[in-house]
Amino acid sequence: MIQVLSIASECAPLVKTGGLADVAGALPAALSGQGVQMRTLLPGYPGVMSSLSGASHLESFDDLFGGPAQLLAGQAEGLDLLVIDAPHLYQREGNPYLGPDGLDWPDNPERFAALSWVGAMIGARGAGGWQPQILHGHDWQAGLVTEYLRQMQGADVHTVLTIHNISFTGTVDPGRMHALRLDPARFHSEGFEFWGAISALKAGLMGADRLTTVSPRYAEELMTPEFGMGLDGVIRHRRDALVGILNGIDQSIWTPATDPMITPYDNPKGKAANKAALRAEMGLPESEGPLCVIVSRMTHQKGLDLVLQALPALLEGGGQLALLGSGDAELQNAFVNAAFGPNVAVRIGYDEAFSHLMIAGGDAILVPSRFEPCGLTQLYGLRYGTIPLVALTGGLADTVINASPAALARGVATGLQFSPINSDTLRHAMARLCTLYKDRKTWLRMQRNAMSQPVGWDQSAKAYAALYAELVAG
């Protein structure tokens, strides 16, 4: 049994702001059948501490980046956890990264340096008699693990870093070097220096034994200036260590036949009750075209401004739009104030249960992201027979079979893709969506194809287990 410590800043369902949490929450169970025992190291946020059961004390720290702390072991939501109980760093309500003003907590560098430090310590000498063979860190918040391992003599542990979104680099002024317990001799291009600043992500990219990201296409994109966010040169330098492994979804939660948050169904025709319920909930009338849904953070990355520009094409084709999301205030206001008439409904905020009804009740789900490392909502759409209309990028390109003439002729299409990513091509894709929807035989075939696609963790778990085994074999 390979022993792995997953080091993450969030983990569903305990704390979640995005796809990283879903991956961290799903991997332990997915890997348990692959000869891997995974424990997860998390910051002791209020929601994590209140959920922890069977807690036992493993270690005390007199000064963990500004205050006393302890390392606890316990369980929560079926997860085997190690938790850093450091009230001065983590005992804060709300978002794990943002203060009440919507800005990053000023001490985020120290908060997640502590996560990396404790992870490295466990890798170097174990905790409570347990010794991991592999440290698997996620994004910049675990990027400094390899730097700290260098300082801990005798560390005999392998390291993996997964890039969920390279646009967050964990960058901070070099004046914080001492506070972050970093070796000034490592402040250079082969270490953690990034354009004159400290970058936790750069440290991990340079130091980890293996790098993974969340789709094969995104792995390729990261090596280009367009997607690499200034780190494309680093990625090209480490290309032999990089592999793209698609995310999956938790099918114990996302399965339409057993979903308690909707009217369950096991074939496309069973969606009708949920579509009626969604229309009633959102105040939408009957319509001859497809009911399209968006469940998303409202940011420039997600391409929702393109939807505003292209939406008339959907409405002219008899379609409708229901949106659930929150984020950028300007985008929120633009959707709320747009005078598109009765066939557009917007709900600002996020509601996990309602998101299930949105996806179950929609005919199609729109994911027009400018970049998308993997994406999960298109996978939910496939699972629920809700046809994805996606931008041709990252994991969206890897998971949706475009309704090209060849794919339609062979009867294998599962959705629509558009490229280049702009409002004109999205407008054309929306018009095509409306046309396909009216061909009921073709549409039903696409729905059945979508619902039969493998979107769980089976294949991805095998890929991670093979990567771990390769490292351990040395």
273: three-class secondary structure by DSSP: helix
16 annotated ligand-binding residue: yes
Tokens 């996606």 belong to: 390
Around Cβ 135, how many Cβ atoms within 10 Å?
28
Burial class from Cβ neighbours inside 10 Å (0-12, 13-18, 19+) for residue 408 reads middle
Q: Are 161 and 204 in contact (CB under 8 A)?
A: yes
Strands 364-367 and 242-244: unpaired
Buried b (16+ CB within 10 A) or exposed e, 367-386: bbbbbbbbbbbbbbbbbbbb
Q: Are 78 and 39 in contact (CB under 8 A)?
A: no
For residue 330, the one-letter residue type is E
246/26 Cα distance (integer angstroms): 13
Q: Tokens for 205?
A: 């990219």
Q: Are 325 and 298 in contact (CB under 8 A)?
A: yes
Q: Are 163 and 199 in contact (CB under 8 A)?
A: no
For residue 387, the one-letter residue type is I
111/113 Cα distance (integer angstroms): 6
Please tell me the number of Cα atoms within 13 Å of 434 on its side-chain side.
19
Strands 210-213 and 242-244: parallel
Instruction: Name every residue whose Cβ is closer than 8 Å to that of residue 352 and which is 6 or more positions away in sequence.
Output: none
Q: Tokens for 204?
A: 């991990």
Q: Are 50 and 15 in contact (CB under 8 A)?
A: no
Tokens 């005999």 belong to: 156
For residue 18, the one-letter residue type is G
Tokens 């390729």 belong to: 220
Instruction: Name every residue whose Cβ is closer than 8 Å to that of residue 187 and which is 6 or more positions away in sequence.
Output: 174, 177, 193, 198
CA distances 257 to 234, 303, 443, Å, are 45, 31, 20
186: three-class secondary structure by DSSP: helix
CA distances 182 to 142, 150, 193, 229, Å, are 14, 10, 11, 24
Binding site: what residues are annotated? 16
> Binding site membership for ADP-alpha-D-glucose: which residues?
16
